[in-house]
Amino acid sequence: VGVVVYNSADVNTTSETVDVNVLFQGVDWTSLCKSSNCSYYLAQYRLDNNNSNPYRVWTQQGSPAYPTGAQLAAMRAEAEVAMAISPVLPGTIGFEIPALPLPAVHMLHVCGFEDGAPAPSQVTGLVVRRTTSAGKAIVRWASVPERCIKTYEVLWAGPSGAGFARVNNDTIFRVFAHARDGGAAEGCYKVRAVDYRGSAGPLSDEQCLGGTVQVI
């Protein structure tokens, strides 16, 4: 079950905030989980001038006309939707959204998991392409069928043979721009899904970038 809350007044912006209480009345918790032994999690997504706002990061960097790789990485990280996840008791009807600014969009999403439920499915459809900029690659994949996904983790292993390591921040989007300032993005990639519980699914088949590749 999900609820979207917004605070808007056309183009007006103010430093004032408002505390919001959201009541879920008439929610059938058994529809979220068919078993009597379930755990529930609340995910809160936030979008406002201070969260999920790459333009703010760009202006703080001095509005560079030609951002460095590190500056682009900082902007891309801020472009991800800010999210916090916490467990909730079944039957909870009241949720607080403190200090909601103007303007802002906030979403509450409650998911139920049966005890012992499997981790998310394996990610498929992984594609890696080089970009026209040196040291950058675009990684994309297909979504998993599960709906309560916290993030997709992108793992990369470079030609040094150091092994796979995660290279992205939490994201619910199915595309990642891997930028290595002063380095090369050649190597192999894998992706896996992680749900609200923190359970990680199996890694996708790896896709490697190197040699003759398609340029986009």
DSSP 215: B
Q: What is the pLDDT of residue 214?
A: 38
Q: What is the pLDDT of residue 135?
A: 74
Q: What is the pLDDT of residue 198?
A: 96
Interval 130-143: pLDDT, tens? 887 777 889 999 99
Enter the tokens of residue 78: 């801020």
Whether the predicted pLDDT of 41 surpasses 70:
yes
Average pLDDT, the chain: 88
**Mean pLDDT in residue range 6-25:** 83
CA gap 197, 105 in Å, rounded: 24
Confidence of residue 27 (pLDDT cuts 50, 70, 90): confident
Q: What is the pLDDT of residue 181?
A: 63
The DSSP result for 126-189, as a single string, is -EEEE-SSTTEEEEE-PPPS-S-EEEEEEEEE-TT----EE-----SSSEEEEE-TTS---EEE
